[in-house]
Structure 1
Amino acid sequence: MLYYALVFFIIALIAGVLGFGGIAGASAGIAQILFFLFLAFLVLSLFAHLLRGR
């Protein structure tokens, strides 16, 4: 998921440089959503790991 967030971020950067504002904004929004989903799943995974123990 983090990979896709980075891909959309790079697409947003390239589209922004080339002047495609709509595509850049959409790609940046998707990248932001995917990044925060990744963070949420990371926190949930770490929390589940701590609760499960050894």
Structure 2
Amino acid sequence: MLRWTVIFLVVALIAALFGFTGIAAGAAGIAKILFFIFIVLFLISIIAGGFRRVD
């Protein structure tokens, strides 16, 4: 998921460089949403891994 975030971020930067502000804003918005989903899932996996103990 982090890979998709980086891809959309690069697309947003390239689109902004060429002046396509609408596309850049959309790609940046998608990248932001994917990044926050990644952070939430990452924290859930860390917490779940902390509760799972191997005896």
TM superposition score normalised by structure 2: 0.96
Query: 2: distance between equivalents of 1:45 and 1:8?
Result: 24
The superposition leaves residues 5-51 of structure 1 with CA deviations (integer Å, 9 ceiling, x where unpaired) of: 00000000000000000000000000000001000000000000001
Q: Which residue of 2 aligns with 1:52?
A: 52
Higher Rg of the two aligned structures: 2
Determine helix, strand or coil for the equivalent of 1:45: helix
Extract unaligned runs of 5+ from structure 2: none
Spell out the pairing of 1:6-45 with structure 2 (5 A cutoff): 6-45=6-45
Query: 2: distance between equivalents of 1:49 and 1:41?
Result: 12
Task: Give the ranges of 4+ consecutive aligned residues of structure 1 lying more than 6 Å apart after TM superposition.
Answer: none
